Amino acid sequence: VLKLFKSLHRTRQEVFKNDTRALEAARLKINEEFRNNQDETSEEKIKELLKIASDVEVILRTSVIQAVHTDSDKM
Cβ 63 vs Cβ 56: under 8 Å: no
Rounded to an integer, what distance in angstroms lies between the CA atom of residue 50 and that of residue 34?
Answer: 10
Per the DSSP assignment, residues forming a β-bridge with 74 are 71
The per-residue pLDDT for range 26-62, each reduced to its tens digit, is 999 999 999 999 999 999 999 999 999 999 999 999 9
Q: How confident is the model at residue 71 (pLDDT cuts 50, 70, 90)?
A: confident
pTM of the model: 0.79
pLDDT at 75: 55
Rounded to an integer, what distance in angstroms lies between the CA atom of residue 68 and that of residue 27?
Answer: 21
Per the DSSP assignment, residues forming a β-bridge with 43 are none
Domain extents for the chain? 1-62
Residue 65: pLDDT over 90: no
49 in helix, strand or coil?
A: helix
